[in-house]
Structure 1
Amino acid sequence: MFAPSLIQVASLTVGSYFIVALAAASSINNPFDVTPFTVNLSAEIPRLKSLVKNTRLPTKALYFVGADKGIELDVLRQLQTEWATTFDWETQQLEFNQLSHFTAVIEGQSVHFVHEKSGQPDAIPVILLHGWPGSFHEFLPVIKPLTQSANVGGKNVSYHVVVPSLPGFVFSSPPPLNWTVDDTARIFNTLMTEVLGYSTYAGSDVAYSLYSLFNATVRAAHLVFLPFVSPTAEEIAENNITLSVLQEVTEQRVTEFNAIGEGYLIEQSTKPNDIGLALYDSPVGQLAWLAGKIKLWSDPRAGTPPSVLNNTAILTSVSLYYLTDSFLSSVWIYAQNSLKTVYTKAPTDAPLLFTQYEYNVGLWPQEYVAKVGNLVSYTVHDFGGHFPGLDNPPALIGDIRELAQYFKA
Structure 2
Amino acid sequence: MAASQSDAEPRLAADAIRPFRAHVPQAALIDLRRRLAATRWPDRETVTDRSQGMQLAKLQALVRYWETGYDWRKAEAKLNASPQFLTNIDGLDIHFIHVRSPHPNAMPLIMTHGWPGSVFELLKVVGPLTDPTAHGGTAEDAFHLVLPSIPGFGFSDKPKSTGWNPDRVARAWDTLMKRLEYTRYLSQGGDWGAIISDAMGRQAPPGLLGIHVNRVERSTTIPPEVAKALKCGDPPPANLSAEEREVFEEARAFLGKGFGFASIMGTRPQTIGYSLADSPAGLAAWFYDKFGDWVFTRGEPERAFTRDEMLDNISLYWLTNTGTSSARIYWETLASSPNMAGISIPAAVTIFPGEVYKPPKSWAARAYQNLVYYKRVDKGGHFAAWEEPDLFSAEVRAAFRSMR
TM-score normalised according to structure 1 size: 0.83
Q: Quick check: 1:254 aligned with 2:251?
A: yes
- Offset of 1:201 from its aligned partner? 2.7
Q: 1:384·1:392 contact (CA, 8 Å) conserved in 2?
A: yes
2:352 maps to a residue whose letter is Y
Residue in 1 that maps onto 2:317 = 321
Counterparts of 1:75 and 1:153 in 2: how far apart (Å)? 39
SS of 1:156's equivalent? helix
SS of 2:187's equivalent? coil
Q: Quick check: 1:129 aligned with 2:112?
A: yes
Q: 2:291·2:301 contact (CA, 8 Å) conserved in 1?
A: no
2:271 maps to a residue whose letter is D
Residue in 2 that maps onto 1:221 = 211
Q: Select the structure that is richer in helix.
A: 2
Query: Of the candidates 369, 374, 378, which is equivalent to residue 378 of structure 1?
Result: 374
Counterparts of 2:138 and 2:88 in 1: how far apart (Å)? 40
- Offset of 1:241 from its aligned partner? 5.2
Equivalent positions of 1:183-198 (< 5 A) are 183-198=168-183
1:370 maps to a residue whose letter is A
Q: 2:128·2:390 contact (CA, 8 Å) conserved in 1?
A: no
Unpaired runs of 5+ residues, structure 1, are: 1-28
Q: Quick check: 1:280 aligned with 2:277?
A: yes
Residue in 1 that maps onto 2:79 = 96
Residue in 2 that maps onto 1:331 = 327
Query: Of the candidates 357, 363, 383, which is equivalent to residue 362 of structure 1?
Result: 357
Aligned length: 373
With over 3 angstroms needed to count, the CA separation of the structure-2 counterparts of 1:404 and 1:174, relative to structure 1, is same
Query: Of the candidates 391, 394, 397, which is equivalent to residue 395 of structure 1?
Result: 391
Range moving further from structure 2, 160-169 or 45-54: 45-54
Q: Quick check: 1:299 aligned with 2:292?
A: no
SS of 2:403's equivalent? coil
- Offset of 1:63 from its aligned partner? 2.0
For the aligned residue pairs, the C-alpha RMSD in angstroms reads 2.8
1:262 maps to a residue whose letter is F
1:403 maps to a residue whose letter is A
Counterparts of 1:335 and 1:341 in 2: how far apart (Å)? 12
Q: 2:97·2:148 contact (CA, 8 Å) conserved in 1?
A: yes
Residue in 2 that maps onto 1:289 = 286
1:213 maps to a residue whose letter is Q
Counterparts of 1:217 and 1:253 in 2: how far apart (Å)? 37
Counterparts of 2:116 and 2:279 in 1: how far apart (Å)? 16
Q: 1:189·1:214 contact (CA, 8 Å) conserved in 2?
A: no
- Offset of 1:400 from its aligned partner? 0.9
Query: Of the candidates 385, 402, 407, which is equivalent to residue 403 of structure 2?
Result: 407
Q: 1:124·1:160 contact (CA, 8 Å) conserved in 2?
A: yes
SS of 2:277's equivalent? coil
Query: Of the candidates 90, 98, 104, which is equivalent to residue 107 of structure 1?
Result: 90
Residue in 2 that maps onto 1:212 = 202
Residue in 2 that maps onto 1:263 = 260
Equivalent positions of 1:69-80 (< 5 A) are 69-80=52-63
2:319 maps to a residue whose letter is L
Q: 2:95·2:155 contact (CA, 8 Å) conserved in 1?
A: yes
TM-score normalised according to structure 2 size: 0.84
Q: Which has the higher contact order (CA 8 A, sep 6+)?
A: 1
For residues 317-350 of structure 1, the C-alpha deviation after alignment (integer angstroms, 9 at most, x for no partner) is: 110001001111000011110499997422x3x3
2:401 maps to a residue whose letter is Q
Counterparts of 1:390 and 1:66 in 2: how far apart (Å)? 26
2:69 maps to a residue whose letter is T
Query: Of the candidates 168, 187, 205, which is equivalent to residue 202 of structure 1?
Result: 187
SS of 1:128's equivalent? strand
- Offset of 1:379 from its aligned partner? 1.0
With over 3 angstroms needed to count, the CA separation of the structure-2 counterparts of 1:112 and 1:395, relative to structure 1, is same
1:353 maps to a residue whose letter is A
For residues 126-152 of structure 1, the C-alpha deviation after alignment (integer angstroms, 9 at most, x for no partner) is: 111111111111001101221113499
SS of 2:350's equivalent? strand
Q: 2:236·2:248 contact (CA, 8 Å) conserved in 1?
A: no
